[in-house]
Structure formats: C-alpha cells, structure tokens
Amino acid sequence: MAPLAEPTQNPAMRLLLIGPPGSGKGTQGERLAEALEVQHIAAGDVLRAHVYGETKLGLQVAGLLKEGELVPDKLITEALTPTLSAAAEEGGYILDGFPRTVAQAERLDRLAQRLDVAPQRVIHLDVDDGELQRRLLERAQSQGRDDDTPDGIARRLEVFRTTTAPVVELYRERGVLLAVDGAQTPDEITQTILAALSDAVAR
C-alpha cells in the first residue's frame, strides 16, 4: 500500500494526539495536518475560543481552564462534536487534547460508531516531567497563556498523570497506540510519526 505521507493516496487519516502539557501536541498537530491534508482540531483551542468569545460555554469553563482543571466530559464532547464530524466528512482529522479521560474515550467510541469516524491511530507524545516544566515555564514567558503559571502547570501535569495516562493505556491495549519520544526535535518527531504511520499501513 502507498505510504501515508502521500496525501493524495491517503485521503482519510483519522488520528488522535495525546500527550502531557508541553509535549508538543499543538506543533505536531499542525504539521501532521498539513502533511496529511486533514483538519487539525485542538480541544484546548476550541475551549479558549469560547472563553474569548464569552459564549455560554466559555463563561462556564473559563475558571476551570485557568486553574488547569478539566472541563466536564459532557461539555467538551458536545463542544467538539460538530467540528469533528464536519472534519471527518471532509476526509479525516487530527484531534489533539481529546480524549483526556476514560469517560471521554467512551463518549468518543459512541460518537465514532454513530458517525463512522473512529480514529485509526493514537499517537502518544512521551516527554519527562522535568523537560515539560522547563518548556512550559519558557512558554509562559513568551506567550503568557492564563494557565501557564507555576500552579497551573503543576496541576495540569498532575491531571495528565492521574486522569489521562489511563487513556493512553486503554489505546495501548487496543493495539492502536504509536508511542513517540517527544524529547526529539520537532522535525524529528514529525518524521518519526509519518514513518510509523506509513509502516503501520504498509503492514
């Protein structure tokens, strides 16, 4: 079969990107979306757009985002559903930052079954905590995101360890996980992922 890096021969790639804060989900999501010609959907960006737009949802979740707490499963799933189904209809998606809880993974299962848009692969960007803290503190100085405070960073890392790590294990058990060393340079990570995807399809 043709390698996945050839977008014209691979019109329908559906991927999840899971990793702790600072692991490079946003950067890789954008790069992969371009390489594979599918839409990049970042759960955090969708929520932040609601906060800035002061929508009903935005007003409900602003405090949670700032503190580094997850927003309720039902709210994030509902917020993502229209975008996800539209993207899937266009041929595929890279979904970054969802699911972050096992309950969200179960909601995604139901949605994917209903719309026939199940993810084909789940990429786990693995980076150690020391490096994550360093990157996030650096980002705090350059971008000043509301949740990039020392407390917000610590809480988000803890939430990943306690609540999101089991989601990674779930997909590992299902045999769809691609674990990638996120300590490499951004270019190396993109290449590693594209090569692994094309291997997975060729097999």
How many whole angstroms separate alpha carbon 76 and alpha carbon 69?
A: 13
| Interactions with ligand ADP, residue window 7-26 (CB under 6 A) | 21
The SS3 of residue 106 is: helix
The set of residues, in sequence order, having a beta carbon less than 8 Å from that of 173 and lying 6+ positions away, is none
Residue 174 CB, nearest distance to ligand ADP (Å)?
19
Closest CA to 119 of 142, 98, 100: 98
Binding mask 39-78 for ligand ADP (x = CB under 6 A): ----xx--x----------------xx--xxxx----x--
Q: Are strands 39-42 and 177-181 parallel, antiparallel or unpaired?
A: unpaired
Least Å distance, CB 44 to ligand ADP, is: 2
* Residue 97, beta-bridge partner list: none
Report the residue number, 44 or 182, with the smaller CB distance to ligand ADP.
Answer: 44
Interacting residues with ligand ADP between 114 and 173 (CB under 6 A): 147, 156
Q: Which DSSP string do the residues of 17-28 spell out, in sequence order?
A: EE--TTSSHHHH
CB 78 within 8 A of CB 159: no
Give yes or no for residue 182 binding ligand ADP (CB under 6 A): no
For ligand ADP, give the closer residue by CB, 27 or 192: 27
Q: Taking the complex as a whole, how short is the minimal distance between the CB of residue 57 and ligand ADP, in angstroms? A: 12
Sheet strands side by side (includes 93-96): 39-42, 93-96, 14-18, 121-126, 177-181
Size of the site for ligand ADP (CB under 6 A): 18
* Closest distance to ligand ADP from the beta carbon of 113 (Å): 19
Interface residues with ligand ADP (CB under 6 A) are 21, 43-44, 47, 64-65, 68-71, 76, 97-100, 104, 147, 156
